[in-house]
């Protein structure tokens, strides 16, 4: 990836994903983020939409030309898991108490369908990390 890609990653992607560790992302949000990301990549590579359609260039091929095949949803998951590890290592602090605490009542029917905790659990299962071993894994900060 050229210097342009590095600058894009440091500036635009950093702003785009700022605070993403605390998001509960819906599919609609992921599509919008991915669309903006591809629009920026096409603009940097000087591949306009008309030429892309004319030449039958898929978005996957544009990503291959760019060199970064990681999707925005995966980047959000990495940020969320990094934050989960950080909060799990906190001792006797409010963020950790909130993470491991729960309210005795049920959520109202008009409330959110998915909480941040639910998203983090799905990310852990996708990464193949059992919930029982989370405490041991987050203490090992090698990666």
What digits encode the pLDDT tens for the residues 52-75? Answer: 778 888 878 888 888 877 888 899
pLDDT over 90, % of the chain: 10
Tokens of 23: 């998001």
Mean pLDDT is lowest, of 35-49, 77-91, 129-143, for 129-143
Among 69, 94, 115, the domain-final residue is 69
Of the candidates 76, 75, 77, 99, the one whose C-alpha atom is nearest the C-alpha of residue 87 is: 99
pLDDT digits 0-9 by tens, 2-19: 787 788 888 999 999 999
Give ∠ CA 129-133-136 in degrees, rounded to 5: 115
Residues 22 and 61 grouped into a single domain: yes
Residues 58 and 16 grouped into a single domain: yes
Residues 50 and 31 grouped into a single domain: yes
| Whether pLDDT at 140 is above 80 | no
Q: How many domains, in total, are found in the chain? A: 2
- Would you tell me how many other CB atoms lie within 10 Å of the CB of residue 34? 14
Residues 43 and 89 grouped into a single domain: no
Residues 49 and 80 grouped into a single domain: no
* CA separation for the pair 9, 109 (Å, rounded): 40
Q: What is the mean predicted confidence (pLDDT) over 69-90?
A: 86
- Would you tell me how many other CB atoms lie within 10 Å of the CB of residue 143? 3
Among 69, 95, 115, the domain-final residue is 69
Residues 79 and 57 grouped into a single domain: no
Residues 123 and 78 grouped into a single domain: yes
Of the candidates 3, 126, 117, 141, the one whose C-alpha atom is nearest the C-alpha of residue 73 is: 126
Segments forming the whole domain that contains residue 55 = 3-69
């Amino acid at each position: 990836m050229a210097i342009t890609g590095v600058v894009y990653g440091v500036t635009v992607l950093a702003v785009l994903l700022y605070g993403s560790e605390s998001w509960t992302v819906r599919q609609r949000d992921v599509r919008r983020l991915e669309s903006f990301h591809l629009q920026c990549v096409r603009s940097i590579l000087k591949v306009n939409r008309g030429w892309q359609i004319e030449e039958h260039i898929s978005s996957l091929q544009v990503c291959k030309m760019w060199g970064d095949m990681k999707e925005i949803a995966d980047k959000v998951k990495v940020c969320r898991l990094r934050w989960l590890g950080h909060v799990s290592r906190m001792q006797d602090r409010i963020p950790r108490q909130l993470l491991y605490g729960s309210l005795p009542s049920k959520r109202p029917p008009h409330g959110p369908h998915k909480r941040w905790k639910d998203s983090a659990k799905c990310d852990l299962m996708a990464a193949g990390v059992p919930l029982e071993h989370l405490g041991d894994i987050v203490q090992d900060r090698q990666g």
